[in-house]
Amino acid sequence: MITLYDMKTLHTGTRRGLSPHTWKVRFALRFKGIPYTLKCIEIGDIEATAKSIGALPTGKKVDGSPRYTVPFIQDSKTGKIISESFEIIEYLDVAYPETISMIPKGTRVLQGYFADAVYKIIGTQILPVYASAMPTPYQTRETTEWFRINRPQFTKLSPEQEKEGWEKFRSELGELAKLMKETDVFAMGDRVSFADCVLFGQIIVLKFFWDEETTEWKEMMSLHGGRWSRLITAYYNLPDVEIQPEDPSS
């Protein structure tokens, strides 16, 4: 069984979890049909938890010390422990060759570049907008405190700044949408791949900040002819592979 680590929220059941990078892995696992359990930990406990199971850091902090991040996985079938979403999904392709490959042969560089490009659109344009909604009612007190100390740049935006963020986001994501065929659900057309894990992860996390009933989420789902909503639907149309813990709040 695969144990996938994510950050804790006050949501329960399938709405647990927060990281867009963990959502990439959840998307891949569902398309692959591989069962897993999601273990949600406080953001401040990521480093200690990763170290306790032997998960490697994924980068460096500004002071040069190792940075530990979610997602990381522990696979009891193979004994492997892997950090970093791209590495995890690549591992799943190799360790579970009977499942659909998310990084089709010959596309590794393209998939990596695509992920970076999408992250630039989200990270620079819409992330400051949704971060402005923090603290949300579903955030743990520890998360709020962590963001206050570690991400002081996430401040409340003015309505003008929010509007500007939305406009740039709409237009930059729209450029990507234009490159895709009208009826395509996936970045590669009719074939799912890592690129869709990235898009899905970055979009679904908005639901944590905005909830289903908000105008922001509704706008997101109708954007660019409903293209992103079709991707979300493709995920929810598949059987769920997440095994729920006995304690619904864990």
- Tell which one of 17, 71, 128, 165 touches ligand GSH (CB under 6 A): 71
* Least distance to ligand GSH, CB of residue 84, Å: 4
Q: Could you write out the DSSP letters of every residue in the chain? A: -EEEEEE--S--GGG----HHHHHHHHHHHHHT--EEEEEE-GGGHHHHHHHHTPPP-EE-TTSSEE--S-EEEETTTTEEEESHHHHHHHHHHH-TTSPPSS-TT-HHHHHHHHHHHHHHIIIIIHHHHHTTPSPTT--HHHHHHHHHH-TT--PPPHHHHHHHHHHHHHHHHHHHHHS-TT-SBTTBSS--HHHHHHHHHHHHHHHHH-TTSHHHHHHHHHHHHHHHHHHHHHHTSPP-BPPPSSTT-
Q: Find the part of the chain contacting ligand GSH (CB under 6 A) among 65-73, 93-101, 152-160, 182-190.
A: 65-73
140 near ligand GSH, judged by CB under 6 A: no
* Least distance to ligand GSH, CB of residue 44, Å: 8
139 near ligand GSH, judged by CB under 6 A: no
Binding-site string for ligand GSH from residue 32 to residue 61, where x marks contact by CB under 6 A and - marks none? -----------x--x-----------x---
Kindly identify the residues of this chain, within the stretch 5-24, that bind ligand GSH according to CB under 6 A. 19-21
111 near ligand GSH, judged by CB under 6 A: no
70 near ligand GSH, judged by CB under 6 A: yes
Residue with Cβ nearer ligand GSH (116 or 219)? 116
The residues that touch ligand GSH, with contacts defined as CB under 6 A, are 19-21, 43, 46, 58, 67, 69-71, 84-85
